[in-house]
Structure 1
Amino acid sequence: MELIYQTLIRSFVEPAVLVLGDLMIDTYLRGASTRLSPEAPVPVVDISSHTSVLGGGANAAANLRHLGAKVTFVSLTGDDHAARLAGELLEKEGICDQVVRCDTRRTITKTRVIAGHQLLTRYDEGTELQLDQDCEQQIIAVLSEQLPLHDAILIADYNKGLITPAIIEALTAMNRDFRKFVAVDAKRLDRYKCLQPDVIKPNYKEITELLGLPEMPGRKAQQLEEMGTAIYQATGAKISAITLDEEGALIFQEDKLLCHTAARPVNTPNVSGAGDTYISAFTLSCLTGAAAATAAEIAGAAAAVAISKSNTAHCKHSELVAYFSIRDKCISDLEELSALCEMYRAQGRKIVFTNGCFDILHSGHVSYLERAASLGDVLIVGVNTDESIKRLKGPERPINSLNDRVQVLAGLGAISHLIAFGDQHDDTPEPLIRIIRPDVFAKGGDYNRESLPEAAAVEEYGGEVVLLPLVPDRSTTLIIKRIYTTPVLKVAEA
């Protein structure tokens, strides 16, 4: 099944998606607080970093772009510093900017002040009133020009004044002519029923408000499982993907419950922007031919990757491919290895790397690998190819082929991933180290720092070289020697 997911995800680079949504700037002021202000009993924060990222509908556009799609973003800003910053951020993300600037508005900005890991305050700026008629006609003109050039439109309506009834009416008329895939993530989904969306993505709060239901924490899925008819009557959506946080997601096909997907566990999740990631991945999955249930699994995985990061985060195309490779111990592609390691680093997981021939696996190997694994969260093992071993140990080796050695190693629970290495130009693991950038490089105690030419590469990336003691009298060479010198027992004929 993972292969099917990976095939679909690799096709995410093909669609062109038009995004219509409220543009916001999310700004994070981070620092330390060690004292109170003399003016009032409030903490003073000494700011050490200032980060601004795309938020709102622009974050949905950024998510689509990170997942590989070609993206054009249509929105509205003021004519101010924040608008210019937004333009720079859109350009940096590789998103085609079709944003209308209006000098009577101020660009929406949300600024968070954080001391250590504690959010102290958030202050918001910008115009959230409905746009005027002149700007409305400019938006409609841009949509009329851009919609025919794209495979789909994703509407990210945060109810900040951008999308008016006239714009929805104009989009409905356009789509009767062009019949594009329509995805909607909106605070008020009933406004888009006339568009007959292909997919909608309300969260639990939005769907209960839409249906006039009380909130039932801990029983969200149970409460909504029988509500397919009401949801379809209210929205007219072909697919409704209702995200329920820790309870996963309910997927309805018109008025029928299709499936209930489980939430993927994430330590210390940061859920800001998770909905944008989910709808982006769901949309691209559908555009590349996935059934709704498959699209839901891929979207859930993308959201899990995004919420494992800090700030308003995204899931990259390579990270999503890598996510479905985690259960594959044997990695054959260096690009896949790089994506896996990027994802582990983004999650704050400590990577340990070691390498060896592992020709005849014995108790010394198992003990060593278990101790190496205990040094971090992920153990990646480089295994010399057959040709590499012949160059290092002579023409009689290896005893077991690479395929056999890897298959045996894959059975060890201590190992997260395996990858072969070694060529006629370089039999050291240094090329792998430069891709993996391990926090710890583990080697046996029969080595020292000076005898490891690859140690410099480890330390160049801030890693640590750890030498582990070996189990006495346990080695492949000793085993082979014992086999060759042990007399063959002759069984007397009866």
Structure 2
Amino acid sequence: MELIYQSLIRSFVEPAVLVLGDLMIDTYLRGASTRLSPEAPVPVVDISSHTSVLGGGANAAANLRQLGAQVTFVSLMGNDYAAELASGLLTKDGIRNEVVRCDTRRTITKTRVIAGQQLLTRYDEGTELQLDAMCEQQIITVLEQQLPLHNAILIADYGKGLITPGIIEALERLNSIHRKFLAIDAKRLDRYKALQPDVVKPNYKEIITLLGIAEQPDCKARQLEELGASIYDATGAKITAVTLDEEGALIFEQDKLLCHTSARPVSNPNVSGAGDTYISAFTLSCLSGATPATAAEVAGMAASIAIRKSDTAHCKLSELVACFSMKDKYIRDTAELDALCNMYRAQGKKIVFTNGCFDILHSGHVSYLERAASLGDILIVGVNTDDSIKRLKGSERPINQLNDRVQVLAGLGAITHLIAFGDAQHDTPEPLIRIIRPDIFAKGGDYSRESLPEAAAVEEYGGEVVLLPLVPDRSTTLIIKRIYTTPVLKVAEA
């Protein structure tokens, strides 16, 4: 099943998607606070980092691009510093920029001040009024030029004044001529019913507002499961994916409930931009031929990756592929390993790496691997290939072939991932270390720092070499010797 998902995700690079949505800049000022201001009883934050990323509809465009699609972004911005910043970020992310500049507007920017992990305040700048007739016509002209060139259009309407009734009428006209896959994420989905969208993605608050019903936060899914007819009547969409945070998502096909997908638990989630990730992955899954249920599974996984990251984040194609291969502990190539490790680092996970032949697994190995795993959050184990063991141990080894050794090791709960290594040029794990960049490189106490040629590579990336004590009188060599020297008991023939 995981291979089916991976094949689906790798086809995300094929579609060209036009994104129409409100452009925002999310800025994060991070630092530490140790004192109050003498001017008022408010904390003083000593800023140590200043980060700006694409937000709003531009974040949806960034998510699509990071997932592999070819993306054109259509929006509106002012003629100010934030506009220059936005243009640079769009270029950096490889997004084609068709954003109209309007001298009468200021680019929307949301700035968050964070001390440690605590958000202290957010202040917003920019114009959120409905755009004027001249800018509206410029947007319509861009849509007339660009829509026929794309496989799909995604509308990310945050209600900031970009998408007027005139633009919606233009979209209806254009889509009747050039029928494209249409996905919509909007605070007011009823505005788009006449477009008969393929997919819409309201969250819980948006759908209960749309339906005019009271909030029941303790039983969101149960409240909505029987309301398929009302939801379809309000949206007119072929597929409605209602996201419910920790309760997962309800997927409706027209007026019928298709499935209820569960949410993946995430501690301390950063949900800013998660909806953009979800609708982007759902859209690309549908364009790649997935059923709505499969698209929901992929979108849910993509969102769970994004919310593990700090700031307004997105999910990368490589991270999504890697996540669907995580159930299989054995990593088959270094590209997959690189994607996994990048994802773990983005999540702030502490990576431990160790390596060995593990020819005949014994209690000493198990104890050692459990102690290595306790040093961090993720334990990656490099396993020497059969040819590598022959070069290191002699022609009689290994006793067990690589596939057998990997299968036995995969049964240990302490191990997160396994990968084979060793060729004629490198029988040490140094090439893996340069990909993994582990926080901890664990080795048995029979080694010393000086006897490990790969230790320098560990420390080059800021990692630490930790030598763990071994269980006495436990080794593969001793087991093999005991087998060879123990007399064979012969059973007398009857």
Query: TM-score surpassing 0.5?
Result: yes
The 2-side partners of 1:35 and 1:368 are apart by 46
Residue 437 of structure 2 aligns with which residue? 437
What residue number does 2:216 align with? 216
Question: Root-mean-square deviation (CA), in Å?
Answer: 0.8
1:111 has 2:111 as partner: yes
User: What secondary structure, in the 3-state scheme, does the structure 1 residue paired with 2:484 have?
Assistant: helix
CA distance in 2, matches of 1:453, 1:60: 45
- Residue aligning to 1:271: 271
For 1:213, give the aligned amino acid. Answer: I
Aligned to 2:367: 367
- Superposition pairs for residues 327-338 of structure 1, below 5 Å? 327-338=327-338
More divergent stretch after superposition (286-295 vs 457-466): 457-466
1:459 match: 459
User: 1:156: Cα distance to partner?
Assistant: 0.2
Greater shift, 37-46 or 86-95, is seen at: 37-46
- Whether 1:321 and 2:321 are equivalent positions in the alignment is yes
SS for the counterpart of 1:400 is coil
User: C-alpha separation between the residues in 1 aligned to 2:162 and 2:374?
Assistant: 53
Structure 2 distance, partners of 1:45, 1:398, is 59
Which range moved further: 248-257 or 356-365?
356-365
- Report the AA paired with residue 63 of structure 2: N
**Secondary structure of 2:329's aligned partner:** coil
2:244 maps to a residue whose letter is L
What one-letter code is carried by the residue in structure 2 that aligns with 1:77? M
Counterpart in 1 of 2:258? 258
3-state SS, counterpart of residue 154 of structure 1? strand
Instruction: Give the Cα separation in 2 of the matches to 1:270 and 1:359.
Output: 43
Q: Partner letter of residue 313 of structure 1?
A: A
Deviations 1:266-308 (A, max 9, x none): 1110000000000000000000000000000000000000000
Structure-2 residue corresponding to 1:121: 121
Shift of the alpha carbon at 1:357? 0.6
Q: Which moved more, 1:45-54 or 1:203-212?
A: 45-54
What SS class does the counterpart of residue 330 from structure 2 fall into? Answer: coil
Alpha-carbon shift at residue 321 of structure 1 (Å): 0.6
Q: Deviations over 1:20-41 (max 9, x none)?
A: 0000111111112222222222
2:343 is the counterpart of 1:350: no
Post-superposition Cα deviations, 1:196-240, rounded to whole Å, max 9, x if no partner, equal 000000000000000001110111111111111111111100000
Alignment of structure 1 residues 76-475 onto 2, 5 Å: 76-475=76-475
Q: Point out the more displaced range, 396-405 or 201-210.
A: 396-405
Aligned residue identity for 1:350: K
Q: In structure 2, give the amino acid aligned to 1:387.
A: D
Shift of 1:191: 0.4
- SS of the aligned residue for 2:161 comes to coil
Q: 1:469 & 1:31 partners in 2: Cα distance?
A: 40
What is the distance in 2 between the residues matched to 1:41 and 1:347?
A: 34
Q: How far has the Cα of 1:102 moved from its partner? A: 0.4
**What is the TM-score when the length of structure 2 is the normalising length?**
0.99
Distance in 2 of aligned mates of 1:26 and 1:154? 20
- Residue aligned with 1:134, SS: helix
Q: Distance in 1 between matches of 2:85 and 2:405?
A: 54
Paired residue for 1:49?
49
Letter of the structure 1 residue corresponding to residue 262 of structure 2: A
Offset at residue 186 of structure 1 (A): 0.3
More displaced stretch, 286-295 vs 323-332: 323-332
Distance in 2, matches of 1:374 and 1:114, equals: 31
CA distance in 1, matches of 2:82, 2:374: 47
Give the drift of 1:493. Answer: 2.6
* Residue 7 (str. 1) matches residue 7 (str. 2): yes
In structure 2, what is the Cα distance between the partners aligned to 1:374 and 1:35? 37
Report how many aligned residue pairs link the two structures: 494
Unaligned runs of 5+ residues in structure 2 are none
Q: What is the one-letter code of the residue matched to 1:174?
A: L
TM superposition shift of 1:392 = 0.6
Q: CA deviation at 1:492?
A: 2.2
What is the deviation of 1:318? Answer: 0.4
Give the C-alpha shift of residue 485 in structure 1.
Answer: 1.4
Q: 1:325-346 CA distances to partner (integer Å, 9 max, x unpaired)?
A: 1111111111001111111111
Residue 45 of structure 1 aligns to which amino acid in structure 2? V
Between the aligned partners of 1:2 and 1:195, the Cα distance in structure 2 is 35
Q: Which runs of 5+ in 1 are unaligned?
A: none
Partners of 2:233 and 2:171 in 1: CA distance: 21
Q: Deviation of residue 249 (structure 1)?
A: 0.4
> 2: distance between equivalents of 1:331 and 1:31?
38
Q: Distance in 2 between matches of 1:294 and 1:418?
A: 28
Displacement of 1:363: 1.2
Secondary structure of 2:46's partner?
strand
Deviations 1:114-154 (A, max 9, x none): 11111111111111111011110100000000001100000
Which amino acid letter does the alignment assign opposite residue 461 of structure 1? Answer: Y
For residues 478 and 169 of structure 1, the distance between their equivalents in structure 2, rounded to whole angstroms, comes to 80
Q: Aligned partners of 1:406, 1:39: CA distance in 2, in Å?
A: 64
Q: CA deviation at 1:458?
A: 0.7
d(CA) in 2 for partners of 1:399 and 1:46? 60
Instruction: Give the TM-score taking structure 1 as reference length.
Output: 0.99
SS at match of 2:318: helix
SS at match of 2:221: helix
Report the Cα distance in structure 1 between the residues aligned to 2:221 and 2:491, rounded to whole angstroms. Answer: 70
* SS in structure 2 of the partner of residue 490 of structure 1: coil
> Is the partner of 2:72 in helix, strand or coil?
strand
* SS across alignment from 2:98: strand
